Amino acid sequence: LHRVHRRQRQMCIRDRITIVRGIGNYPPLEMVEKGQLTGLHIDMIRHVAEKLHISIEFISLPWGRALKYFSDGKVHAISYYGYTKSRELTAYYHSDNILSNTRWVFLALEERKNEFKFDRSLKGLENLVIGVQHGYSHGQYFDSMEHLVRDVVLSEFDLERMLKNKRHDLAMMSYQEFLGFKKRGDFKGIVALSPSIDSDPQYIAFSKLNDDGGENKALSVRFAKELKRFKASDAYNNLLDYFKFHHYQ
CA atoms within 13 A on the CB side of 170: 26
> Model confidence over 110-149: pLDDT tens digits?
999 999 999 989 999 999 999 999 999 999 899 999 999 9
CB 206 within 8 A of CB 138: no
> Model confidence over 34-76: pLDDT tens digits?
999 999 999 999 999 999 999 999 999 999 999 999 999 999 9
Q: How far apart are CA 177 and CA 41, in angstroms?
A: 13
Give the CA dihedral 142, 201, 198, 172, nearest 10 degrees. -60
Looking at residue 247, its pLDDT comes to 80
Query: How many residues are listed for the chain in this entry?
Result: 249
Looking at residue 43, its pLDDT comes to 98
Looking at residue 13, its pLDDT comes to 64
Q: Could you tell me what percent of the chain has a pLDDT over 90?
A: 86
Task: Kindly indicate the confidence band of residue 5, based on its pLDDT and cuts at 50, 70 and 90.
Answer: very low
Looking at residue 100, its pLDDT comes to 96
Query: What's the CA angle centered on 191, arms 40 and 176, to 5 degrees?
Result: 10
3 against 126, higher pLDDT? 126
Looking at residue 184, its pLDDT comes to 87
Tell me the pLDDT of the chain averaged across its residues: 92
Q: How far apart are CA 37 and CA 80, in angstroms?
A: 14
DSSP 30: B
pTM over 0.85: yes
Looking at residue 4, its pLDDT comes to 42
Residue 12 has pLDDT above 90, yes or no: no
Task: Kindly indicate the confidence band of residue 6, based on its pLDDT and cuts at 50, 70 and 90.
Answer: very low
